[in-house]
Amino acid sequence: MLNHKISGLIAAPFTPFDEKGELNLALIPQYYAMLKRNKVAGAFICGSTGEGVSLTFDEKVAVMTAWAALTKEDTEFILMMLLGGTNIKECQQLARIAEQAGVDVISFTSPSYFKPANVEQLAKCCVEIAMAAPHTAFYYYHIPVLTGGNFQMIELLKKVDNLIPNFKGIKYTHEDFMDFLSCMNFADRKYDMLWGRDENMLSALVLGNKGAVGSTYNYAAPLYLNLMEAYGRGDVEKANVLQQQSIDMITLLGKYGGISVGKAYMKLIGLNCGEFRLPVKNMPAAQFELFKTDVAKLGFDDFCAH
């Protein structure tokens, strides 16, 4: 079981599709090699960026199996798998398969249709799923903007502490820095807290954060590694400049349609992951040249992944 805290960048890979919208598993070895080449510490698969909610059960297993086959013997690369959230029984089934495949971390997020009434109910869900793979590290995925599970994570930690032996931490994709710091300091800093907002990584570093999970690490890992290095040596001004570059890059996601635009960035670094599935809107092909022009103005070639 993964027993150490995670440091560095964990990319949240896009699930690659072909021109018909079906899985393109053949691209995953090249994807993995690209992340390794750019000093990314791991991958968080089938999450929000990976369209886990739009994949069938069998597709999730196929994606997980493809990644696990590449990473199982790579002790320096951490493979994290989002099991889902809404269907607890399905999450348990996937957890068992993930443990057999040698996945390093399983993760679960708040049910978003039948929502937990309180943090106690959320903790019960975590118990049931974590128990299905007792020899695999379990991280809760906190992203209330998508799930509606807007609970204080410090309260969840209090509920699960000493109750779930393989509960190791939280992927925290929210802006509540007070709650985040309280979680970092809880029980003598027992739990691993992974920051999940790329656009304000610098603020998390100030609190002592060492590990992060994000979508833009797929195509701009060098930018964030330089940011972390600059902050680490005390050059806050340089870190500030780099964080603004990140913000400017992420702003283009909103300008051209949202999360799906990340796959347009991937095309620019030579990995065509296809398009997002419905109900997500994709960038019209006619806008791609305008997008490329805006990206060039950012100096993207100077900090993008290779």
List the catalytic residues: 141, 171
Q: How far apart are the first and last CA of the chain?
A: 31
3-state SS class at 157: helix
> Distance between CA atoms of 58 and 44, rounded to whole angstroms?
18
| Dmax (CA) of the chain | 55
**Alpha-carbon distance 292 to 264, whole Å?**
9
Per-residue tokens: 181 = 């710091």
Positive or negative: CA dihedral 34, 39, 42, 44: negative
For residue 218, give the nearest of 17, 2, 30 by alpha carbon. Answer: 30
H/E segment holding residue 108: strand 105-109
Structure tokens at 279: 């109900």
